[in-house]
Amino acid sequence: MKKFTLLKCLLVMQAFFFMACEPEPMVLFPEATPVAHNFLIDSNGDYFEDFENVSKTSYAGANVTFNDGEWYFEDALIGGLSGDSKNGAKSVRMRYNGVITMGYDLPDGIKTVSLRYAKYNRDSQTSFELYYSTDAGATWTKGGDEIHVKKTNLETANFSINVQGNVRLEIRKTDGKSDRLNIDDIIVQSNPITETETLVNITEDYESGSKRSYAAGIVSLPSGDWYLEEALIGSLDNDRKTGLKSVRIRDYGILQMNYDVVGATSVSLSHALYGTDGSSSWELQASTDGGVNWSKIGNTVSTSSTILETINFSVNYSENVRFRLLKLSGSGDRINIDDFVIGGTQDTESDTGGGTAEEPIQFGEVHLTMGNPSNALTDITIPNNYLLKKEEYVMSYSRDKGTANWVSWHLDESWRGNASRQNDFREDNTLPSSWYKVNETDYRYSGFDRGHLCPSADRTISVEANSNTFFMTNMMPQAPNNNRNVWASLESYCRSLLSEGYELYIISGGYGVGGDGSEGYAEYIANGKVTVPSNTWKVIMVLPVGDDDVNRVTTNTQVIAVDIPNSQNVSSDWTQYSTSVDDIEILTGNDFFNLVPDHIEDVIEDNIYIL
């Protein structure tokens, strides 16, 4: 009854406003005081738009006036033809890189968004993304995964946004093709700020931390765990600090929160040059998905003073968020960072600063969606099953073998872009400092290739992502004919599945001792520091693109497994080496896809893939 009463009141108010005055003209991105609107609501009290009571018959860019405000349409129109998929008489039709943008804010935030979508008529499949803005359209944040549109019947997409305050929406067609798309029935569940939420500031002054080397590592601090790469806690005379310590960052270093806070309205920090070093540039970034994706905040900052200066960033987050600082100039000049303050976070009894509540999602977790095959841990006391996580892949590393036991990675179109092959083979300084780090020259003159486990071509979304496949921890000694022919052929086949609407979970490695390279048989290279495997193997799960991946695996899900001799005398046809996942498990001692229910796992791992 309460929601019904609210609906009646809003409808009466809407009618009153329509009779009392003419609507004021709207600008697309208002900078003045927000204009009040008479929002349409459904029977649940949620904002909705069904596009029924408007008209736009051309694709030319223009504002479209709705009852509750204006939307801007570019390469989009209101369609009412028989080929338009719709619930009612009309829906939005978009083509090329079409976009529809709300020109006004919803004042009570957004918890969730649902909308209906379909292909137009007989057009080919297409795609779109949802974005939201909390600063009147000045900047936009992606609100979930890209949606692939394959059917002519309306389907429903749901997005979890969880922002409070003023917010507006935008829908972007993403493939740039002439194939058209219909959008209908947008429903927004509000997310109002409750009176019980008390906002506090969280300050980290780095006084209680200790880290004396630039090697990548985790530092436990009162606010939570921080990840430092090419960075340390400095206390020398040349370190600029307000107390006894501050963070010192060199080259392309990172200072990153490894925990979330609940909401934020501001970030401030102090920065200065270390000693007499030259100027350096850096930027602040934020992540709302546990460190998987990051977005830049504000402008790039240049540090040029030897006296600590405070810089303030205005932000507007109501959901879980974490921050990091990336140094952008790698000339060797160093900077100090101190007194990192996050303003306007929610004060809760269970979590006063992060790091003590629910275990945060670490970057790289997507690559372990189907399980951790050897239960590897990031524990220096387990040197031959050491869990090493990158954003691009995750591995179990063996200190004694000098190679990974396995490397696991997720592959879909989002990992692919236009970045070129970097070829910057290098040692991995994220390994414990006391371990030998295989370097780029250790394979030289051995007769074996530096063979990628996670391929370079699987990570072309950015230069950084591609570069990170060239750590020597991601290499194993491969016979050239193995690496360049049969192995490359399977890698190419995997990437070809992406254009057919699939995503893949891939795990790769080697087993045994001794291979046949271009210089003959060898069991070890690099003066015994790197073991040459006798065989190379790979297991691959193939899923249609979608969400909730573990729960979508069925007994019909295709898996590929290969066991290939590490030899010059191999065929280029990878299918000749097909086997079952069960057989690879016996040979390696791993348990693949162990998060899939057992009755399904038992079936798919027993099958042998036939092309």
Beta strands in 304-448 (DSSP E): 309-327, 335-346, 386-389, 394-398, 403-411
Q: Do 404 and 474 touch, CB atoms closer than 8 A? A: yes
The Cα-based distances of 93 to 80, 116, 352 in angstroms read 9, 12, 47
The distance from CA 313 to its chain's CA centroid, rounded to whole angstroms, is 23
Three-state secondary-structure class, residue 444: coil
In the DSSP assignment, the letter for residue 589 is -
Cα four-point dihedral sign 540, 371, 215, 236:
positive
Exposure of 125 in the CB half-sphere (CA atoms within 13 A)? 8
Instruction: Give the span between the Cα atoms of 409 and 412, in whole angstroms.
Output: 10
In the DSSP assignment, the letter for residue 46 is -
* 452 assigned to active site: yes
Tokens 């080496």 appear where? 577
Q: Do 393 and 319 touch, CB atoms closer than 8 A? A: no
Which region holds residue 423: left if phi is over 0, alpha if psi is between -120 and 50, else beta? left
Instruction: Give the span between the Cα atoms of 179 and 417, in whole angstroms.
Output: 21
Closest Cα to residue 282, out of 248, 315, 259, 314? 248
Instruction: Give the span between the Cα atoms of 431 and 438, in whole angstroms.
Output: 10
Write b or e for each residue in 341-351: b if 16 or more Cβ atoms lie within 10 A of its Cβ, otherwise e.
Answer: bbbbbbeeeeb
Phi, psi of 434 (to 5 degrees): -80, -10
Exposure of 506 in the CB half-sphere (CA atoms within 13 A)? 24
Amino acid identity for residue 401 in this structure: K
Instruction: Give the span between the Cα atoms of 538 and 406, in whole angstroms.
Output: 9
The Cα-based distances of 464 to 158, 292, 421, 422 in angstroms read 31, 14, 11, 9
Q: Do 514 and 534 touch, CB atoms closer than 8 A? A: yes
Catalytic residue among 37, 367, 452, 599: 452
Cβ neighbours for 255, distance < 8 A, ≥ 6 positions apart: 226, 227, 228, 231, 247, 249, 324, 325, 337
Other CB atoms closer than 10 Å to residue 203's CB: what's the count?
A: 14
Q: Residue 251 is encoded by which pair of tokens?
A: 């080259």
Triad 341, 292, 191: Cα angle to 5°: 70
Instruction: Give the span between the Cα atoms of 21 and 280, in whole angstroms.
Output: 56
Cα four-point dihedral sign 20, 23, 29, 32:
negative
Instruction: Give the span between the Cα atoms of 171 and 162, in whole angstroms.
Output: 17
Cβ neighbours for 587, distance < 8 A, ≥ 6 positions apart: 511, 535, 537, 563
Residues annotated catalytic, as ranges: 452
